[in-house]
Structure 1
Amino acid sequence: MNPAFDATERAAVYRAIHERRDMRHFKPGPIDTEVLRRLLLAAHHAPSVGFMQPWRIVRITDRPLRESLHACVERERLLTADALGKRRDEFMKLKVEGMLECGELLVMALMDGREKHVFGRRTMPDMDLASVACAIQNMWLAARAEGLGMGWVSLFDEEELRQILGMPAGARPVAILCLGQVEAFYERPMLEQEHWAERMPVDACMFENGWEKPAS
């Protein structure tokens, strides 16, 4: 049996990868319960170091709580703008989140008690964070396949967010995820469209047999 996907299946996987976008513009409206369940299962089937499954997902269904999280992000947005110096005004023109408009708001976090997991983390303890990032990417690609937009918000003070959500000692918020319906997906990443940054050529990121040795 050929383990490879057929051409149509492969094309669908690569399409999801290349058309995935960090969305900030959403249409109001709920997400079907079964679709949301599929997205959560996609996240939960991500690889994790030592099979520790360190992700914890907090679904925000309370509107005042959503607004509190948004206020937390807004405070950090202004502090980030001040830290950018000459690019402050340019940054302030960007839409950086869609927390009040999206159909679902999720907080992806790291579990507490992670010090018990040594397999794969003895010399690289941040591999738990890498595992959570894999779960987020799984959900992102699945959302794109479902025709839903997702945006990753990282503008927040970790301790403030931890206190708002009552996280236990040792737990750590990683991302606020905006999930919902969109009018259209951006043709290119929004920050590229807004001339904030450009995608690097893949060859600039590739070395061979040592650092900064060009790949053949």
Structure 2
Amino acid sequence: MAAAGPFSEAERAAVYRAIETRRDVRGEFLPTHVPDAVLARLLEAAHHAPSVGLMQPWNFIVLRDIETRRRIRDIVMRRNAEAAAMFEDERAAAYQRLKLEGIVEAPLNLCITCDRERGGKVVLGRTHQRDTDLLSTACAVQNLFLAARAEGIGVGWVSIFEPDDLRPVLGLPDRVVPVAYLCVGYVDRLFRRPELEARRWAKRLSLEDLVFAEGWDRPWRFPPEG
């Protein structure tokens, strides 16, 4: 056991700053190489994520080869055309103007996968909720996002593809699911607000409307500010 207690004020502020200023990056990547030592720190942060039953179902595929990344970009472009057709009128036009990936522009890509057989047939804490392995992998993704923000590195999550699209390109076994495909690289500027909010695609919901007390749809009373 180790001593527990709050962080110092400066440490606490740094944690909250990373959370509040993290952005999904698509078009702001610099061509600067991400050193392996820095990448190793990001992967270490991801690997320290919580996982149900300590199953640690994640793997990380590092992608620097431009030809592999072009193959994946081509898949995303094809799926993006399908996605664009799902929107109508002004929404469709707005979608076409959005840049939703930086696969080739970023100097580095990562695919974070979930091995759905990791830990065996019965895993502590997963006996009644099968998808806790996927949820645990998502925690690793978030850890990486926050560590990258602290390093001045941007991360963009690309999700416009069917999971099986990546299987032949990356040689994924049947038991392994790609959870997150990430574009990674240094940035020198970030949107003050999430890009989709800045571009008026969506807006952040009010937290007060999302917190209930003792059951569904009974508002929790926030303390007065100050």
| TM-score, length-scaled by structure 1 | 0.96
Residue 100 of structure 1 pairs with residue 104 of structure 2: yes
Residue 149 of structure 1 pairs with residue 151 of structure 2: no
d(CA) in 1 for partners of 2:164, 2:95? 24
d(CA) in 1 for partners of 2:122, 2:111? 22
d(CA) in 2 for partners of 1:112, 1:214? 37
Counterpart of 2:142 (choices 137, 148, 152) is 137
For 2:114, the equivalent position in structure 1 comes to 110
Q: Please report how far the alpha carbon of residue 60 of structure 1 lies from its aligned counterpart in structure 2 after TM superposition.
A: 1.0
Q: Where has structure 1 moved over 6 Å in runs of 4 or more?
A: none
d(CA) in 2 for partners of 1:59, 1:125? 27
Residue 79 of structure 1 pairs with residue 82 of structure 2: yes
2:25 partner letter = M
Q: Please report how far the alpha carbon of residue 61 of structure 1 lies from its aligned counterpart in structure 2 after TM superposition.
A: 2.3
Residue 19 of structure 1 pairs with residue 40 of structure 2: no
- 1:93-135 deviation line (CA, Å, top 9, x unaligned): 0011111111210011111424624322222111111111110
C-alpha contact 1:150 1:180 (8 A) present in aligned 2: yes
Secondary structure in structure 1 of the residue aligned to 2:59: strand
d(CA) in 2 for partners of 1:57, 1:2? 31
Once structures 1 and 2 are overlaid, which stretch shifts more, 25-34 or 66-75? 25-34
For 1:198, the equivalent position in structure 2 comes to 203
Residue 88 of structure 1 pairs with residue 99 of structure 2: no
Secondary structure in structure 2 of the residue aligned to 1:77: helix
d(CA) in 2 for partners of 1:203, 1:154? 29
1:166 partner letter = G
C-alpha contact 2:153 2:186 (8 A) present in aligned 1: yes
| TM-score, length-scaled by structure 2 | 0.92
- Identical columns (%): 44
Counterpart of 1:181 (choices 178, 186, 200) is 186
For 1:36, the equivalent position in structure 2 comes to 39
C-alpha contact 2:116 2:133 (8 A) present in aligned 1: no
**Residues paired across the two proteins, number:** 216
For 2:169, the equivalent position in structure 1 comes to 164
2:115 partner letter = M
Q: Please report how far the alpha carbon of residue 69 of structure 1 lies from its aligned counterpart in structure 2 after TM superposition.
A: 0.7
2:16 partner letter = Y
C-alpha contact 2:152 2:188 (8 A) present in aligned 1: no
d(CA) in 2 for partners of 1:24, 1:15? 21
C-alpha contact 1:52 1:117 (8 A) present in aligned 2: no
Q: Please report how far the alpha carbon of residue 85 of structure 1 lies from its aligned counterpart in structure 2 after TM superposition.
A: 2.4
The 1:57–1:2 alpha-carbon spacing in structure 2 relative to 1, beyond 3 Å, is closer
